[in-house]
Amino acid sequence: MHCGIDYGTSNSSLGVVKAGKVVQAMLEPGSVYLPSAIYRAFPEHELNEDIESRTIRQQLGNAQGLVYGTEAIDAYIRHPGDGLFMKSPKVFLGSDLNKDQMDFFEVIIAKMMTHILEQARQFYGHDLRQAVIGRPIRYHGIRGEQGDQQALAIMQHAAAEAGLDEIVFMYEPLAAALDYEQGLDQDEVLLVVDVGGGTTDCSVVKVGPSYRDKRERSDDLLAYSGNRIGGVDLDINLGWYSIMPLFGRGTDELHNKAFDAIAVNSIPSQQAFYSRFEMPIHAKADVARERLYKVWLDKLSSHLVRSAELTKIALSSAELDALDLAYVEDGLQVQVTREDFREAIVRSTEKIRQVIDDARQASDTRIDKIYLTGGSAVSPVIQQLIREVVGDQVPFVSGNMHGSVACGLSVFASRHFA
């Protein structure tokens, strides 16, 4: 049996086509979406040992000690320093990785893929051996094509280790277009804007009844563009702007340390932050240093970014949100407005603007609709940005904002492997 797998930066999902319709697998209780996170609590006898000197395979132990998705995030929040936690590994795959780091991500992703496939096999009651897997146009990283090839190699090896015999990669915005196409009764030229967790991808695609049954769709992809800016970057931008002034941003002593603390998508920054932290020996530390020390001691960087993410989501439907930091200091919170969010992400939105404009200009054709997908595309700030680039005449359309990629991959899998 074949399937489509959207292994996402924020969430992952899987679908198959049954009786002409996509059915997404239930990957955790009550949800067809699994947060892309993994956690293993270290047993008590390991806590006093030198964990970091072990290989990643030794740290992960057997699969029985692992939890995934929401359960992994909750376990990390409860016991941040007592286990191995990884969220959004996809965001690192195009980075400059050494051999040990490549092995780390390959093992992590293989474990997560194995879990996703096990859940799906149980849900469908069938084995899954073939898959179309989504990929961004550009993986997050600064290595260009070399980084993309590295990321695809890691994904290929991980998928094989998870038990898949045959895989095909497909651009995620093209997959989203195929999902939208299923409901059309006339042909259109679609601008797909996919603001995912790790990247922003845009494509201009011919969709409709004339193209729907084609096994090969590369000729229908008129233009595409991508950038390594995604929802995780927006979360970090918001955290840096709204949270980190409380932790020393803007001070001579703590500014760089505060930046490293919030930069969870940078391996060098996280290594620099968690390598050491100096507190005054004879004097009392100021409040900002005390707070940052708490982040260092309890390994709360991911928790800070998660708080920023929740506020970003809240600001999609509200003008104001109270960002709660009580896990750092009792009663600590900061009021964040939608305008704050707009200001916080301005450098990122300029890059997103360029991606949209590049795809639109490269296609040199009239756009009929703008199809929005990806979690951050919900934001009114992002939608206003798209309007500024494309204008008000072209209507927005959207479908399954979080599941369109998985559904499109599933549709293509049903044709490709049939």
The DSSP secondary structure of 215-232, one letter per residue, reads S--GGGEEEEEEES--HH
Q: Is residue 142 part of a domain?
A: yes
> Residue 161: which domain range?
2-183+400-416
276 φ/ψ angles, rounded to the nearest 5 degrees: -165, 160
Round to whole Å and give the CA distance between 83 and 65. Answer: 10
| CATH classification at residue 148 | 3.30.420.40
At 265, is the secondary structure helix, strand, or coil?
coil
Contact between 236 and 304 (Cβ < 8 Å): no
Tell me whether residue 89 is in a domain.
yes
Residue 154 lies inside a defined structural domain of this protein:
yes
- For 21, 70, 252, 398, the CA distances from 171, given in Å and listed in that order, are 21, 27, 44, 18
Domain count, the chain: 1
Write out the chain's pLDDT in tens, 418 residues: 899 999 999 999 999 999 989 999 999 999 999 999 999 887 665 555 555 555 556 666 555 578 999 999 999 888 877 788 888 899 899 989 988 888 889 999 999 999 999 999 999 999 999 999 999 988 877 677 898 999 999 999 999 999 999 999 999 999 999 999 998 999 999 999 999 888 899 999 999 999 988 888 888 999 999 888 999 999 999 999 999 999 999 999 999 999 999 999 888 999 999 998 999 888 888 999 999 999 999 999 999 999 999 999 999 999 999 999 999 999 999 999 999 999 999 999 999 999 999 999 999 899 999 999 988 888 999 999 999 999 999 999 877 778 899 999 999 999 899 8
* The token pair that represents 134 in the structure block: 């989504």
Position 53 in a domain: yes
254 domain-assigned: no
Element (DSSP H or E) covering residue 131: strand 130-135
* Distance between CA atoms of residues 290 and 205, nearest Å: 52
Is 349 a domain residue?
no
Rounded Cα distance, 132 and 187, in Å? 25
Is residue 243 within 8 Å of 321, Cβ to Cβ? Answer: no
Say if 253 falls within a structural domain.
Answer: no
Angle CA 385–386–388, to nearest 5:
65
Query: How does DSSP classify residue 318?
Result: -
pTM for this entry: 0.86
Which is nearest to 177 in space by CA: 139, 203, 156? 203
DSSP 285: P
Q: Which amino acid is at 396?
A: F
The pLDDT of residue 198 is: 85
- 């920054």: which residue's tokens? 269
